[in-house]
Amino acid sequence: KQAAQLISKEQEVPVYKDLVKESDILTTLSRLSGIPVQKLTQTDAKKYLNLETELHKRVIGQEQAVSSISRAIRRNQSGIRNNKRPIGSFMFLGPTGVGKTELAKALAEVLFDDESALIRFDMSEYMEKFAASRLNGAPPGYVGYEEGGELTEKVRNKPYSVLLFDEVEKAHPDIFNVLLQVLDDGVLTDSKGRKVD
């Protein structure tokens, strides 16, 4: 009799199928982690094949720059890369208005479907010697130690991003040592000893 009651109760409980879809889980994971949905599904191969076309929708001219960036990203996505280095490090030179910053914005939008994936640093704000500690954090015992560095915290919070060091020639020479580590290794250690890549 008890078994019959349990069976009838099981039949009364509705079974929900497809209540939570894969796309719902991916969207939630993307929001929490900052990783684009396409990166979670790895279905964006077509995007990389048409990278030049997508970038040229926003950047007029600059064929060599667009081509260099596209080749580096496709090389990375095909698995031909050194995992201990960044996907690409590019230096764009030229007068105001030729599309250097616009290319970085377009790249962030194409790769991560969001122009806000561009993390921009105005390097004219880093002209003083002490400014190097602003990037990776103040040493222990100094004011601001608990806050972390501007570069390390921004990358830690949004690891899938494009970094733009605008007007880098205006930065203090000590800043270049920090940037060399980022450009060479793709990793920066903050003042607390945490590695950010």
In the block, tokens 């030729």 appear at: 98
Question: At residue 15, does pLDDT exceed 60?
Answer: no
Asked if 188 contacts 182 with a C-beta cutoff of 8 angstroms, the reply is yes
Q: Which residues pair with 46 in a beta bridge?
A: none
* Rg (the chain; Cα; Å): 23
Separation CA 184–CA 176 (nearest Å): 12
pLDDT of 9 strictly over 70: no
Residue appearing with tokens 């290794």: 185
The model's confidence at residue 156, banded by pLDDT at 50, 70 and 90, is confident
Percentage of residues in the chain having pLDDT higher than 90: 20
Short-list 194, 165, 160, 173, CA closest to 44: 160
* Minimum mean pLDDT range among 10-24, 108-122, 158-172, 182-196: 10-24
Average pLDDT of 166-175? Answer: 90
**DSSP SS3 for 121:** strand
Q: What are phi and psi of 166, to 5 degrees?
A: -80, 140
Tens of pLDDT, residues 19-75? 777 778 888 877 777 777 766 665 567 778 888 998 999 998 889 999 999 998 888
